[in-house]
Amino acid sequence: MRKLIELTSLGLFMCILACHAVAGSAPDKIKYPYSPISWNSLPWWMAKDAGHFERNGLDVDLFYEGASAVIVQAMLAGEANFGGLAGPAIVSNVIGGGDVIQIAAVVKTFTVPMFSAPNIKEVAQLKGQKVAVSRFGSISHLAAQNIFQRAGVTGATVIQSGGTPESAAMLMSGAVAAAMVPPPQSLMLKEKGFRELVSVKQFREWNIPVVENGVAARRSFVEKNPTVAVRFIRSVFEGIKTIYTNKELAIRTLAKYTKINDEKILEESYRFSVDALSKEGSMAPEAFGALVEQLVSQKSIDDAAGKKLPLTAYFDNRFVNELEKEGFFKKLWQ
């Protein structure tokens, strides 16, 4: 009996040592390129600054990378295994043989408004005019194309600016007649008298299925490291919860990363974020089906290529489902 007690005590001691070893192990290092510099990226900023990544054993290096297509190229080049993006760049890379897929959604509607010069009062007036988007193939480009299609506008020239701040600058300088610009830059445009031609409310009324922003990853990496993917997504949604519950920290974080100190702009950006950010990360297949159809109609991808792959080639809900199964989202928001 004494021997059994000694062995049991030894076993418990070894378990305690093992637990301490795991707790004290070095965090997984992750490079995380993202876009844009606006409220859309607040979940990553908050997960970092509020310590959620760290508490989940992740050492995350956040860096701005311009646009989704650029992020995907960086990921395919081996510079990162995760990225903050969604939309056309995911579909295009998968069709081209790349392994960057969507593993969680944080925004499930178009939220990039179209702004114009004060003399432009309706979308129809943009025929023959220049319109700025961040980059070709980006969410802002796709949103602009949806606007033109629904308004029956042809002949507008879409040009890429390189990023959201650049799009706003081009509109203010008169280089373009309209631009796709989300907060906080859109709020500065309003202050200067530029017109909001198409609002987020209008996009929601159109009810277009889409994943506008979310967590992307290399399939080859997350298949080998599923726990890292789960911990990353957990951190992001803990960050979203903090956005909802700690307004002061959220606004301070917005100011830090956007370099904007105007209280009115920051307040509106915060309101925009709590209205738009999703409380769970699952993705509907029809969002990707609609995206493929839209890219085919725009001739961004070949029709045959679009039909060749199943919709599950573009996304994987397994990591979100794992969190759902353990009751994470329910506990997070109760």
Domains 27-108+211-333 and 114-206 share a fold: yes
Q: What is the DSSP string of 32-67?
A: EEE--SSGGGHHHHHHHHTTHHHHTTEEEEEEE-SS
H or E segment and range at residue 285: helix 285-297
What pLDDT score was predicted for residue 146? 87
- Other C-beta atoms within 10 Å of 255: how many? 17
What pLDDT score was predicted for residue 271? 87
> Measured in whole angstroms, how far is the alpha carbon of residue 323 from the centre of its chain?
19
Q: What is the DSSP string of 197-236?
A: EE-HHHHHHHT-----EEEEEEHHHHHH-HHHHHHHHHHH
What pLDDT score was predicted for residue 20? 38
Q: Does domain 27-108+211-333 have CATH number 3.40.50.12780?
A: no
What pLDDT score was predicted for residue 24? 55
The per-residue pLDDT string of the chain (334 residues; one tens digit each, 9 = 90 and over) reads 444 334 334 343 333 333 333 445 789 999 999 988 889 899 999 999 999 999 999 999 999 997 788 999 999 999 999 999 998 899 999 999 999 999 999 998 888 999 999 999 999 999 999 999 998 877 888 899 889 988 999 999 999 999 889 999 999 999 999 999 987 788 889 989 999 999 988 887 887 878 999 999 999 999 999 999 999 999 999 999 999 999 999 999 999 999 989 898 899 889 888 888 999 999 999 999 988 987 887 788 888 888 889 999 999 999 999 999 999 999 999 9
Per domain, the residue ranges of the chain are 27-108+211-333, 114-206
Cβ-contact 123, 149 below 8 angstroms: no
What pLDDT score was predicted for residue 111? 87
Please give the class, per CATH, of domain 114-206. alpha beta
- Other C-beta atoms within 10 Å of 191: how many? 11
pTM of the model: 0.79
CA neighbor of 317 nearest in space, from 139, 101, 108: 101
How is residue 258 written in tokens? 């956007």
What pLDDT score was predicted for residue 25? 77
Q: Which residues of 57-71 are buried (b: 16+ CB within 10 A; e: fewer)?
A: bbebebeebbbbbbb
What pLDDT score was predicted for residue 102? 98
